[in-house]
């Protein structure tokens, strides 16, 4: 065969002696750090005080983590958490026995909703700009961050793809498996890299940044279309929903795609000179 399966069995993270920095956490640090620098360049171009960037960073981080956590709880695991409300924001599990789990279970759809809400609050309290103007710009670092989140999922051997039924693929040895699967996390990460490049180009090299809502709408269409189609080669995250026509991630992606098309092509008032 031209491509043989690769056995994937990474360690949990970087052992610093007194502390283990988990790769997934490291990917989030890279995502937020790179996002800060990207937005800094945008703020400089727009002649916005850099002091307002710190507030934006805080709003985005909190919205991402809280929104992603609530998204997982509500969309994917409510049957469990409705009877274990304290565990939603605690890094422990009380049943069947007490266990320190860390913060597991984040959903990108919830993160998207959280960021949209937080940008509205940020606009009201910090930056006097239209919320769509802010969203047009914040989605550029968000797209870059999504690249590293999916790499983190790959390093964690989670959100795995379906078996390839061939010699091609990744054998997730940490899961005790001996057969190759599609590296769906890496497919998705690569697509997000392309989306980031497209958004970056449109903002810096074209006049699309002046059409309020267009870049934000394009982000919604591209990102959730990618998510919709890659879900076909992912294992279902909720086992009892495997008989659905579409899985949870796909159903949740459709409203975002429709909203994106609306923001891209909605009629706008002509600009007065």
d(CA 89, CA 242): 28
H or E segment and range at residue 171: strand 170-172
d(CA 172, CA 219): 31
What's the pLDDT score for residue 13?
Answer: 75
What's the pLDDT score for residue 173?
Answer: 92
Secondary structure letter of residue 76 according to DSSP: T
Regions of the chain where pLDDT drops below 50: 1-2, 271-273
Strand partners, 13: 22
Sign of the CA dihedral running 264, 193, 136, 232: positive
Q: How many CB atoms lie within 10 A of CB 267?
A: 5
d(CA 189, CA 155): 12
Strand partners, 105: none
Domain ranges of the chain: 21-75+105-265
What's the pLDDT score for residue 59?
Answer: 93
The CA-based angle 121-142-101, given to 5 degrees, is 90
What's the pLDDT score for residue 1?
Answer: 44
114 CB-side CA count, 13 A: 22
What's the pLDDT score for residue 86?
Answer: 74
The model's pTM is 0.88
Both tokens assigned to 153? 């999922």
What's the pLDDT score for residue 63?
Answer: 94
d(CA 122, CA 185): 31
What's the pLDDT score for residue 45?
Answer: 95
d(CA 218, CA 252): 17
d(CA 129, CA 126): 9
Helices in the chain by DSSP H: which ranges?
23-46, 51-75, 78-81, 108-125, 131-155, 184-205, 214-230, 248-265
Contacts 24+ apart (CB under 8 A), 171-177: 171/5, 171/6, 171/7, 171/8, 172/8, 172/9, 173/7, 173/8, 173/9, 174/8, 174/9, 174/10
What's the pLDDT score for residue 8?
Answer: 87
């Amino acid at each position: 065969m031209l491509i043989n399966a690769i056995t994937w069995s990474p360690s949990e993270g970087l052992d610093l002696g007194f502390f283990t920095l988990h790769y997934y956490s490291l990917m989030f640090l890279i995502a937020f750090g790179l996002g800060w620098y990207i937005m800094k360049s945008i703020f400089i171009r727009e002649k916005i005080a850099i002091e307002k960037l710190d507030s934006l960073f805080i709003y985005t981080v909190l919205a991402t983590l809280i929104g992603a956590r609530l998204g997982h709880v509500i969309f994917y695991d409510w049957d469990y958490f409705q009877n274990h409300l304290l565990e939603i924001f605690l890094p422990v599990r009380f049943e069947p026995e007490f266990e320190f789990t860390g913060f597991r279970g984040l959903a990108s759809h919830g993160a998207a909703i959280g960021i949209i809400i937080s940008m509205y609050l940020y606009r009201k309290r910090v930056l006097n700009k239209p919320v769509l103007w802010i969203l047009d710009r914040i989605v550029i670092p968000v797209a870059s961050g999504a690249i590293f989140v999916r790499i983190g999922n790959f390093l964690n051997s989670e959100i795995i793809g379906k078996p390839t039924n061939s010699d091609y693929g990744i054998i997730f040895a940490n899961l005790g498996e001996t057969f190759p699967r599609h590296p769906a996390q890496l497919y998705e990460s690569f697509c997000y890299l392309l989306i980031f490049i497209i958004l970056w180009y449109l903002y810096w090299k074209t006049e699309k940044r002046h059409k309020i809502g267009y870049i934000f709408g394009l982000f919604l269409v591209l990102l959730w279309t990618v998510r919709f189609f890659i879900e076909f080669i992912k294992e279902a995250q909720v086992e009892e929903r495997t008989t659905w026509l579409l899985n949870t991630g796909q159903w949740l992606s459709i409203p975002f795609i429709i909203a994106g098309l609306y923001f891209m092509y909605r009629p706008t008032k002509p600009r007065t000179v």
